[in-house]
Chains A and B, each alone.
Chain A
Amino acid sequence: MSDKAFAVLGLFDSPDGLLAAIPRVRALGLGRLEAYTPYPVHGVEKALGLKKSPLAGMVLVMGLVGALSAFLFQFWATGIDYPIVVGGKSPLAWQAYIPIVFEVMVLFATFTAGLGMLLLLNRLPFYGHPVLSSRAIAAVTRDRFALAVEALGEELDVQAARRALEEAGASPVEVVPLPAPDGPYSPNALLRGLLAVAASCLAAGLLTYWGIKLMPVLPPMVHMEDQPRVNAQAPSAFFADGHAMRLPAPGTVARGFLPYGPASREEAAALPNPLPRNAAVLALGKARYGTFCAVCHGPLGDGVPTLTAAYGAKPANLQSRTVREYPDGVIFDVITRGKNAMPSYAWALTEEERWAVVHYVRVLERAQNARDEDLK
């Protein structure tokens, strides 16, 4: 037994004995008095002069906090952050929030009550308390009642305390040493325990994360990002050429795609330009020309490419007399079927658009070769 004692502790057989002893020992003012009982013994707290528990207030406050936060969260989530019309209700319809508000309130309140009591008020868990290593503790958690005179900061008068307790009828009386020797619950044992818990939490967290990330794409948990339907430009395991996109049967005519009529350029030359020469048409023609023609024939149609033609072919100069004298139909035909190195642009320009481009080419030519009366 070390001379430095944490407390002197005496056991009583009955609550009455304990209760009778408290005032007598207390009068001596030897130190802080504390009783240890297997179950709450009524009157002890008064005799020891303990204050009432502040728990109720805490619970009330936290309950209200819970209710308010629940309400505000729902209001924000459904009304402000991501409003969705559901069942014809306005996103801010609050009536339906009430049940959840109540539940969250209770949740906050109960956890305040439980954990607040354990952690805040009773400072538990605390495995290192000297009394836990006393001999008396076994009896105290069974059916005996202990009164302890504990050191109040300064030195505890062990002898006086022992005497006082014995006179009060306690037996046996035990001196609880300080500091408590390491029990099975030494601080580093605890630390190790906590570390283990933290580690397992981390592991669990990671597992859940990967689970959530992977699960939905593992069969049978089909998701919809990979549907059996065949989208545009999809590959195919079925068709020999690996294309899911098929070519139309030769000789067929799809709605809106009557094949190009004229058999020869001469026949085409006879075609009149069906489109009126107005702003809308010219705008369309300009846009198409800029997209498809200007690259080679140049923005002015003078055959100076915007991309310096790295290849041999020399784009035609649309300003040249020959082209200027082409009938519209011929230009249309060239766009449609291509000429020399120029491929067909039928895939890119609908007939309407080709005619619009023809108009625009005419405009370019006119602009470059303005006549005098144009200046007026």
Chain B
Amino acid sequence: MSAPAPSPLPEELTVPRYLEGEVTAGSLDDQVLAFPERKPPLKWFVAFAFTAALAAAGFGFIGYTVATGIGVWGNNRPVFWAFDIINFVFWVGIGHAGTLISAILFLFRKTWRNAIARFSEAMTIFAVMCAGLFPLIHVGRPWLAFWLFPYPNQRALWTNFRSPLLWDVFAVSTYFSVSLMFWYLGLVPDLASLRERTTHPLRKKIYTVLSLGWRGAASHWVHYEKAYLLLAGLATGLVLSVHSVVSFDFAVSVVPGWHMTIFPPYFVAGAIFAGFAMVVLVLVVVRESMDLQNLITLDHLEVMNKVILGVSCLMAYSYFMEAFTAWYSMNPYLHHIFRQYVSGTYGWAGILTLSCNVLAPQVFWFRRARRSYPVMILVALCVTVGMWFERFVIIVISLHQDFLPSAWHLYKPTPVDFAILLGSFGLFFTLVLLFARILPVIATTEVKAILPGAQPHRHGGGHE
């Protein structure tokens, strides 16, 4: 599919090439691999200082929480879980876009992914790092959190393999290590290029060690491509399973509003949704600030927005099905909770969720909206907020009024809750900035492989 012959058709009807201007392998390297060598601009330092400060503050409050007890949060009886788990689910969700783009789109041979795969994979890893933070700090005695791992111990006691939380432990840690592996494999050839380019001795050493002495031998590429294909296949299965498992935390319980069979697919869709929104947000910034307009094209963003539109419709369907199931169940407790989703004390959260996740993305039916920065940024923000509040609705609203009215109680977050939430964003963007600073933000090797004339003419080129 790469590099078709130029056609007389009007531009918008042609298959976008996801490249602008003349790009050669060499120019690509000079453009992308040069970043790590250059001293970053002032704006980078400003941004970094800001996000790092945010992260530091967040960690400060985490320290405060650990020292004082999670009573400093708003959690109460019956709302035993609140921001902590909301943030966890939220970040894990963000983490899904990367693997989706790099794995699933790879399997579907969508070559436009190549330019943005590296970045979204990195975001996956950082998001999962943020997510992993919350289960750790949300427990009452974090210094014993390691008890969640089944390691042989003096008490001869094992963990409870029937607990969805334990499934989480396995799913999330597996997901993290697999994403890391996937990301690193992709990096190796680029690191080799960097190794050969850099003159700075220390950097050269580092890149040398990291690139494992990659030399691009044909005999290596054979195994490399096979490995990449397999990883993509496995990661696809994994990415679907991970958020399903996360949804089990709720689906497996008896809490009305949680105990829903639709949750696994619904959560996966939501995850992809939020993830893509976040990718779009970051891509726009990167594209502009790093002058990558020719590599990350509007076509890329438009395709992303199409996906967002599609998944948004999927979400609408999920919401509807969920509500329908609740209504059809004739279960008074469920009926009550679903009324609370859109009315009652926290009804606004439900309304907000619906409008952000279902209504806002509908503007993407219009091509001009799909290709306009302000619109896509706005929608992406909406989706991010909306998806966070979706989790708020599911967790807090379902908990605050369950079976026995005598135990009902309202939930009110504390400043510490917000501080830690912001802190997690700070951590995420700090990592993103560091990544953009020291590693190639675009998988040059993969892009080279689909440049016009990159493959011998007898072969169609692309990945076959």
Contact = CB atoms under 8 A, between A and B. Distances in A.
Q: In the complex, is A directly touching B at CB under 8 Å?
A: yes
Interface of A: 14-16, 19, 34-45, 48, 50, 52-53, 55-56, 59, 63, 73-74, 77-78, 81-82, 84, 86-87, 89, 93, 96-97, 99-100, 102-104, 106-107, 109-111, 113-118, 121-122, 124-129, 131-132, 137-138, 140-143, 184-185, 193, 212, 215-216, 220-221
Given A100-B167, A103-B241, A216-B143, 12 more contacts: A34-B219, A77-B150, A96-B161, A97-B161, A103-B171, A110-B231, A110-B234, A118-B212, A137-B196, A138-B197, A141-B192, A141-B193
Contacts of A184: 201, 204-205, 208
Contact of A38 (B25, B208, B231): B25
Contacts of A82: 156-158
Interface string B159-184: 01110001100110010011001101
Interface string B217-257: 11111111111001100110110010001001000000000
Contacts of A212: 146
Contacts of A96: 161-162
Helix, strand, loop or mixed for chain A's interface? helix
B195 interface: yes
B105 interface: no
A315 to B, nearest CB: 50
Contacts of A52: 222
B9 interface: no
A100 B170 contact: yes
A59 B160 CA distance: 29
Contact of A50 (B156, B158, B170, B218): B218
A36 B213 contact: no
22 contacts: A15-B454, A38-B25, A38-B445, A39-B25, A39-B449, A43-B456, A50-B218, A82-B157, A96-B161, A97-B161, A103-B171, A106-B241, A110-B181, A110-B182, A114-B182, A115-B181, A124-B212, A124-B213, A124-B214, A137-B196, A143-B25, A143-B448
B213 A15 contact: no
B22 to A, nearest CB: 14
Contacts of B167: 99-100, 103
B208 A89 contact: no
What 6 pairs across the A-B complex have the smallest Cβ distances?
A143-B25, A117-B227, A125-B212, A53-B226, A96-B162, A77-B158
Contact of B464 (A42, A117, A121, A127): A42
A193 B66 CA distance: 37
B141 interface: yes
Nearest to A130: B215
A38 B448 contact: yes
B446 interface: yes
Nearest to B141: A221
Nearest to A220: B67
Contact of B455 (A35, A42, A77, A185): A42
Contacts of B454: 15, 39
Interface of B: 24-26, 29, 66-69, 141, 143-144, 146, 150, 156-158, 160-162, 166-167, 170-171, 174, 177-178, 181-182, 184-185, 188-189, 192-193, 195-197, 201, 204-205, 208-209, 212-227, 230-231, 234-235, 237-238, 241, 245, 248, 445-446, 448-449, 453-459, 461, 464
Candidate in A42, A52, A100, A128 with the most chain B CB atoms within 10 angstroms: A42
A109 B234 CA distance: 8
B248 A193 contact: no
B446 A43 contact: no
A137 B158 CA distance: 53
B227 A78 contact: no
A117 B226 contact: yes
A369 to B, nearest CB: 60
Given A99-B170, A122-B224, A141 B195 contact: yes
A180 to B, nearest CB: 11
A124 B162 CA distance: 40
B216 A37 contact: yes
A122 B220 contact: yes
Given A40-B225, A106-B234, A35 B25 contact: no
B226 A42 contact: no
B230 A56 contact: yes
Contacts of B188: 118
Contacts of A193: 209
Given A36-B218, A122-B220, A127 B208 contact: yes
Given A81-B158, A216-B144, A53 B456 contact: no
Contacts of B185: 114, 117-118
A106 B461 CA distance: 31
Given A48-B218, A100-B167, A40 B449 contact: yes
Contacts of A114: 181-182, 184-185, 227, 231
A140 B26 CA distance: 11
B29 A140 contact: no
Contacts of B162: 78, 86-87, 89, 93, 96
Nearest to B195: A141
Contacts of B461: 42
A63 B146 CA distance: 26
A185 B235 contact: no
Nearest to A20: B456
A78 to B, nearest CB: 6
Contact of A19 (B157, B230, B456): B456
A48 B222 CA distance: 11
Given A42-B459, A42-B461, A53-B223, A100 B213 contact: no
Contacts of B208: 127, 184-185
A99 B181 contact: no
Contacts of A216: 143-144
B218 A37 contact: yes
B215 A121 contact: no
A281 B212 CA distance: 86
A81 B196 CA distance: 55
A35 B141 CA distance: 57
B464 to A, nearest CB: 7
Nearest to B166: A100
A184 B195 CA distance: 11
A178 B146 CA distance: 52
A142 B195 CA distance: 11
